[in-house]
Amino acid sequence: MTIIDNAVYVNGIRTATPGSLEQSVETLAAHGGMVWIGLYRPDETEMAAVAAEFGLHLLAVEDAVNAHQRPKLERYDNNLFTVLRPARYVDATETVEFGELHIFTGRNFVVTVRHAETPGVAKVRRDLEQQPELLRHGPEAVLYALLDRVVDDYGPVISGLENDIDEIEDQLFGGDPLVSRRIYELAREVIQFQRAINPLPEMMASLKRGFEKYGVDIELQRKLRDVEDHVEQVISRANGFRDLLQNALTLDGTLTANRQNEASAAQNEQTKKISSWAAIFFAPAFVTGLYGMNFDIMPELHWPFGYPMALGMMVAAGFIMYVIFKRKNWL
């Protein structure tokens, strides 16, 4: 079986490290306390064995095997099934990578199932083993500590996304043509992040409703409320990111349209100038072409002043048209 770590705790102290599931159950029956088994991508057969020993519900077991679950908290009799989506920000690719952590908690056991490399679980175990006064509260202490760790790890994700949004603002006013694509990609990351965190408030509320019924220790209640505060802060900032990106996308469209209008206006000005000069040179060209057709009988063809007159007509026509276009600001 893909057991990452396996320990039995009595009064918050690690008293045994069994080598198999069967040994864990035997040790638990002999000494009492709590067993915490960590699994990594177990298959159906392995999860069926765990389910048989601890009475896990088949629907929860099926979810744990198949993975790709949304964050949720479901209670089956006296057992609790929790799904969390740990996340980390990858600066090199400007993406958010998500893991998946399933947690089964019962009266005297915790089973954690990982479907991605989630070093935070091992750190939570080490930290709790240094705090036996907290760990002696049992499975609830483990669940709340894992919740706290997952939510704390959202902090660097928030910082990474915030830094990317700041860079996007610089790109917008710098005229970067690739900024639209970056906005879309970052918006997609924010939406996926929101899907991981938005179910958390309802999960917190569900746990709080069970405080009195299951006699949760007051210290654990304070810990959960602290996690709840952090969740609200993370959700508020993530919602703000989405609004900022939507505004950035709108601003990018406006700036792009303005740049296109400016380019079009500049192109129109150039067209006016070219058309004006073409018209100015058209008049002399027309006169020159008319008298260059080699006809013998033409007006003023044999008049001594015909040539000066033709030159004068060409200069006058060009000058008059120049003045007209100049007054219309075409030149």
Query: Quick one: pLDDT at residue 81?
Result: 96
Please tell me the predicted confidence (pLDDT) of residue 1.
55
Rounded-to-integer distance, Cα 229 and Cα 67, Å = 28
The pLDDT value given to residue 292: 65
Q: What is the DSSP letter of 43?
A: -
Residue 193: predicted pLDDT: 93
| Distance between CA atoms of residues 294 and 297, nearest Å | 9
pLDDT for 277: 76
* Torsion, CA 241, CA 243, CA 244, CA 250, rounded to 10: 150
State the Cα–Cα distance between residues 228 and 76, nearest whole angstrom: 23
pLDDT value at residue 184? 84
So what's the pLDDT on residue 139? 94
Low-confidence ranges of the chain (pLDDT < 70): 1, 175, 255-260, 262-263, 265-266, 287, 290-303, 305-307
pLDDT at residue 165 in the model: 86
Taking the model in full, what pTM does it have?
Answer: 0.75
- b/e map 222-258, b = 16+ CB within 10 Å: ebbeebbebbeebbeebeebeebbeebbebbeeeeee
